Amino acid sequence: MTLVAILSGAGISTDSGIPDYRGPQGLWRKDPEAEKLVTYDFYMADPEIRRRSWQMRRSGAILDARPNAAHRAVAALERSGTPVRVITQNVDGLHQAAGLPARKVLELHGTAREVVCTRCHARTSMARALARVEAGEADPPCAACGGILKSATVMFGERLDSRVLADAMAITKASEVFVAVGTTLQVQPAASLAGIAVEHGARLFVVNAEPTPHDALAEETIRGPIGTALPALLERIAGGASV
């Protein structure tokens, strides 16, 4: 059966109330200083940056967000029996919350639903860490070793997990249909995956509000709202129609 690889970016989650970081109304455009809160060197060196980072996460939308129609459509495609793998640039966990098995989701940039110790690498839930912040710990240390805790996301200045990246590359090369949805296809290394998929014979579909550098390679580009456009495309794929 046709292996469908889906590369998802921030645009798939905006309908769930999670802002696009780099778009016209994105967080980095509105408050460039906020980028320091998720930059590894700043975070590790400055307790005040860490305190502000924890407060940002307390008021963030990710933990309260729910999957939208686009996430549910991806899970429905997998349930239909079509082999599906998701490679996501997002850290919100909404593909899994929609019902897609976790083993079929590769999180290139980690997850905001967990925290990790920078010293002993112990992990715990973000909800538990934020409860400690709520209780008065402005910069909660690791309960196991006292090290600095951080979100289990890949911060600016950190490398992507080489194993996750290798798996993403293997899935991309094996895919017969590659759908890039809600991503500008400008942030590397994820941006290169669309071109690699085409080089290895996949049919490329781009679902995004704005043009991307890889549109010329796509069999079809879809500019409609993702919440309706992606489900319609995936229904065609599931039905075996000529897409």
Q: Helix (H, G, I), strand (E, B), or coil: what is residue 186? A: coil
Active site residues: 109
Q: What is d(CA 168, CA 58) in angstroms, rounded to the nearest whole number?
A: 31
Q: What is d(CA 115, CA 132) in angstroms, rounded to the nearest whole number?
A: 12
Q: Helix (H, G, I), strand (E, B), or coil: what is residue 153? A: strand
Q: What is d(CA 44, CA 55) in angstroms, rounded to the nearest whole number?
A: 16
∠59-148-105 over CA atoms, to 5°? 65
∠180-196-173 over CA atoms, to 5°? 90
Q: What is d(CA 37, CA 30) in angstroms, rounded to the nearest whole number?
A: 14
Q: What is d(CA 238, CA 193) in angstroms, rounded to the nearest whole number?
A: 23
